[in-house]
Chains A and B, each alone.
Chain A
């Protein structure tokens, strides 16, 4: 069976989420490997989102915001860009492929851009294979995670942020 990556898309409320919506109402076809989470602005992005998502076994994270100059909070997207660049460097230094994490500008009228972006991103993730942190045992060596290995990603983030995940079986 072909590897089906799972990715999270953080889309800003004013442009990108509307862009994703447009892709939907225009019945454009794009892969179903992503879950979209709406944020008020791409500036809401926090490095923690990425680290935690990867920790839980996600294969990729995509941040979408308004084009520079269009941000409804003036420069939220520029702030996001700064944080994203730093996060990418950190991911690289810590040993994760930074291609699993991207920032793109999608406006409300760019439904087709959104659809093709997702296609492209999912293709990249397929090429990269499962994240080394994947908990289903497919990525890297078998996960002997004591109890915390969830087969399915819980995207609702129901649980509160715990100081540390359960580590190791012993």
Chain B
């Protein structure tokens, strides 16, 4: 069933609130969400121009969150991208990210488990699957140049699960969730990934993701394809088992970046904060946080340019202003985009006054299993208190 972009936007009464909050509109003159809606409703411009504009959108969802008429902006942008592949879409790192061309083939099986650290415990027969996402690949691509610790995210997420008594399954046959392909309008490729993933995802009762993008995609986009799954973000999952963890609390101050996919898309604001708090860290909020949190500046690697860089600069400035030691981001890609700016030697200003770390890594460093509470509160069928390697229940 095809619905044209127009269907989602008819309700717009051109108030312009969206243009007021759009971070991209602030840095790129001429880009106005309201105008985009207007052009789509009235059909005053040809498709080429419409899609050109839609490629500039960050899909951050600020506009949608504030629109009084609840215009489904993101759906509109996605649909427009789908129809107008020929617009000005520049994908950063496109050449290197070309490995998706091989991955999409069902005859190749990626390698995932062999990259994990030795101390993490996994068990293929568990009910809980940890969906690792593309951290392995991004680790290879970005580790050396921007210092992105992809495998650290995966390892620490599993360690956290281990700490609450879960031994998750991790599968080699896992393909990319297809988030980027979806938001680039490459729906056929996205559906191919979904089809291949669905084969094994359905076997598991709960799927835990570390990446907000995987989370959103598996939970919502897959549902739209008829693949119903119980997906939980690691912060959501751990918050349910918070009593099994206790903070080591070195009292560092952190500030939390609500990434678009976790925050505005999926409304998860409190679980990560509760966990950071439980870990004994002091949270300092940025001027714009929660549903108003500024986007990191790029999504799906689309149109990363000097204008988007301004947004990234603003984001890091906001974080530095809080005086926190660490900027915690749940999204691996936000981490890549922000660290990229920190590594940029052509920048006159220094953005290195704050450490950027992944949520799982920060939590793992500051939390430990609370073994005494473990047995009394919940019912993990564990054999001994001193060993935390029991089966996933």
Decide: A47 and B107 in contact? CB cutoff 8 A: no
* Max count, chain B CB within 10 A of own CB: residue among A51, A92, A139, A168: A51
Mask of A120-159 contacts with B, CB within 8 angstroms, 1/0: 0000000000001100000111000000000000000000
Mask of B179-198 contacts with A, CB within 8 angstroms, 1/0: 00100101011001001000
| Number of residues of chain A lying within 8 A (CB) of chain B | 27
Decide: A90 and B107 in contact? CB cutoff 8 A: no
Within 8 A of B (CB), among A9-51: 46-48, 51
Q: Which residue of B lies closest to A143 (CB)?
A: B107
The residues of A that contact B343 with a CB separation of less than 8 Å are none
Expressed in whole angstroms, the Cα–Cα distance for A92 and B103 within the complex equals 11
Partner of B140, one of A46, A90, A139: A90
Decide: A132 and B108 in contact? CB cutoff 8 A: yes
Decide: B102 and A95 in contact? CB cutoff 8 A: yes
Decide: B189 and A164 in contact? CB cutoff 8 A: yes
Contacts known (A93-B115, A133-B108); A86 close to B141, Cβ less than 8 A? yes
Question: How many residue pairs between the two chains, A and B, have CB atoms under 8 Å in the bound complex?
Answer: 81
Decide: B137 and A47 in contact? CB cutoff 8 A: no
Decide: B101 and A163 in contact? CB cutoff 8 A: no
Decide: A141 and B107 in contact? CB cutoff 8 A: yes
Contacts known (A95-B109, A163-B186); A90 close to B99, Cβ less than 8 A? yes
Interface assignment of B110: CB less than 8 Å from any CB of chain A:
yes
- Taking the closest CB of chain A, its distance from the CB of B70, in whole angstroms, is 31
* Max count, chain A CB within 10 A of own CB: residue among B85, B106, B107: B107
The residues of B that contact A89 with a CB separation of less than 8 Å are 140
Decide: A132 and B95 in contact? CB cutoff 8 A: no
Interface size class of B (residues with CB under 8 A): 20 to 34
Decide: B108 and A96 in contact? CB cutoff 8 A: yes
Q: Which residue of A lies closest to B186 (CB)?
A: A164
The residues of B that contact A133 with a CB separation of less than 8 Å are 102, 105, 107-108
Mask of B39-70 contacts with A, CB within 8 angstroms, 1/0: 00000000000000000000000000000000
Within 8 A of A (CB), among B64-115: 85, 94-96, 98-99, 101-111, 115
The residues of A that contact B105 with a CB separation of less than 8 Å are 55, 132-133
Partner of B103, one of A48, A52, A95, A141: A95
- 6 A-B residue pairs with Cβ-Cβ distance under 8 Å, sorted by A, are A55-B101, A55-B102, A90-B141, A95-B111, A164-B181, A167-B188
| Interface residue ranges, A against B (CB under 8 Å) | 46-48, 51-52, 54-55, 86, 89-96, 132-133, 139-141, 163-168
13 other contacts beyond A54-B101, A96-B108, with CB at 8 A cut-off? A51-B101, A51-B102, A91-B102, A93-B111, A94-B99, A95-B111, A132-B105, A132-B108, A139-B107, A141-B106, A163-B184, A164-B181, A167-B104
